[in-house]
Amino acid sequence: MPRRTVTMLCSTLTLIALLCTGLLLPVPYSELAPGPTVNTLGKHDGDPVLQIDGRRTYPTSGHLNMTTVQVTGADYRMNLVEAMAGWIAHDGAVVPHDTLYPDDKSAEEVDQENAEEFTASQESAKVAALEALDIPVGTRVIVSSVVKGGAAEGELHAGDVILAVDGKKVREPADVVEGVTRHSPGEKAVFTVVPASRAKGKGTDPAGKEVSVTTRRSPEDGRAVVGIQAGTEHTFPFDIEIELADVGGPSAGLMFALGLIDKLDAPSLTGGRFVAGTGTIDDDGTVGPIGGITMKTIAAREAGAEYFLTPADNCAAAAADTPEGLTLVKVEDLDGALDALALVREGKKDRLPTCRAAG
C-alpha cells in the first residue's frame, strides 16, 4: 500500500477515534424517566403504605397510586451519546444537571431537602385529610432547631415539646420568645418540656420536666437568647404512619391525603377504578404543581391507570403529551379531587374537569 494511502488511512482513523472520544465525554445533563408507582391503599415491600391505629377504618377497592420520577445520580454525568438518545426518546427527558443538583449544594444536602419535603408533605396530607372529614387536629409548640454552640445545646433538643417557660404556659412560638426575652442576659430561663423521645404519638405527658438554660446576650440587639428556634407541629387524635422508603420531595401529598380519607370513611373513593395522580398539598387542602409531570403520566398509564389527578398548573404540559387511554383530571384542591372521584365511581366521565393543552 502506498505511503500516502497509509497516511490518509491513519489520519482518518485518528479523526474517527477523536470523534468517538468526544461522543463519550461527559456533558452537564441528567435524565428523567418514569419511576415506580405505589398504591397508597395497598402495601409496599410487604407493609401497608398507610397505617392507622386507634380509629375505625373501612375496606377500600381500586387504586390511588402515587407516582415518581427516576433521575440519574448526582455523581453520574451522561455522555453525549446518552444525552442525544434521551432527547430523542419519548419516555425520557434530558435536563441540565444543575437543575436537579445545584452547584452550591452537595448531593447529601439535596437528598436531605427532599427527605424533609417528603416528611412535611406527609404531615400536611394528614391534616388536610382529617379536616376534610371534620376530625379535630391539634397543635403544640416544639423546639424546631438548636443553634450549634448556643446556650441550649445539650439541654434542649429538636423535637422537644415546650409546655411552659418559667411556669407560664405557651400556646405559640411567640410565647417562647416573650418568655426568654423577659430575662436579662445571664439569667436562667426555666423550660418545661417533654423530650422528643417521649413526645411521639397522640398525646403528651402534661407534667413534662424542667430544664434550666442560662440566657446569653444576642449580638444583634442585646436581648436575652438561648439559641433555639421554636415552631409548631400537629397532633392527631389517633396514630397515622406513612411507610414508604426511598421516596423524596413533596409531590405525593395529594395521593396520601386521598388514601387516608378512603381508609377513614366509606364508601370507596374509586369505586374499584384505577386512579393515579400527583400534587403537593397544603394543610388547607390546596394542591400545588410538581416537576416531571410527563414522566409521571407515562408511569401511571404503564401501571394500568385510567385516570390521572393532575395539578391545575401542570395541566397544559401534561395535556401536550397524554398517554393513550389516560384521562387527565384537573385538580386545584382536595375538595375538587374528591368531587372528581365521585364522578369517576359514578361513571360520569364526560363531566370530569379535564386538562387541555395550551393554545
| 3-class secondary structure per residue, 19-54 | HHHHHCCECCEEEEEEEEEEECCCEECCEECEEEEC
Cβ atoms of 60 and 267 within 8 Å: the answer is: no
pTM: 0.81
How many angstroms separate the CA atoms of 354 and 169, rounded? 50
Q: Which residue has the cell 490518509?
A: 8
Which residue ranges in the chain fall short of pLDDT 50?
Answer: 1, 3, 6, 9-10, 13, 17-19, 74, 87
Q: What are phi and psi of 311, to 5 degrees?
A: -55, 140
**Whose CA is closest to 225, among 140, 171, 149, 170?**
149
Nearest alpha-carbon partner for 143 in 115, 176, 169, 113: 176
Report the pLDDT value the prediction gives residue 85, as an integer from 0 to 100.
Answer: 54
User: 120-159: per-residue pLDDT in tens?
Assistant: 899 999 999 999 999 999 999 999 999 999 999 999 999 9
pLDDT at 245: 72
- The answer to whether 139 touches 268, Cβ cutoff 8 Å, is no
pLDDT of residue 24: 54
Residue 111 to residue 74: CA distance in whole angstroms = 10
The β-bridge partners of 26 are: 79
In this structure, what are the phi and psi dihedrals at residue 204, rounded to the nearest 5 degrees?
A: -135, 135
Phi and psi at 84, nearest 5°, equal -65, -40
Measure the CA–CA gap between 355 and 102, rounded to whole angstroms: 32
3-state DSSP of the chain: CCHHHHHHHHHHHHHHHHHHHHHCCECCEEEEEEEEEEECCCEECCEECEEEECCCCCCCCCEEEEEEEEECCCCCCCEHHHHHHHHHCCCCEEEEHHHHCCCCCCHHHHHHHHHHHHHHHHHHHHHHHHHHCCCCCEEEEEEEEECCCCCCECCECCCCEEEEECCEECCCHHHHHHHHHCCCCCCEEEEEEECHHHCCCCCCCCCCEEEEEECEECCCCCCEECCEEEEEEEECCCEEEECCCCCCCCCCHHHHHHHHHHHHCCCCCCCCCEEEECCEECCCCEEECCCCHHHHHHHHHHHCCCEEEEEHHHHHHHHCCCCCCCEEEEECEHHHHHHHHHHHHCCCHHHCCECCCCC
Amino acid letter, residue 314: N
Nearest-angstrom CA–CA distance, 74 and 209: 44
Q: For residues 61 and 270, is the Cβ–Cβ distance under 8 A?
A: yes
Contact by Cβ (8 Å): 233, 139:
yes
Residue-level pLDDT at 9? 46
pLDDT of residue 6: 43
Q: Round to whole Å and give the CA distance between 262 and 342.
A: 12
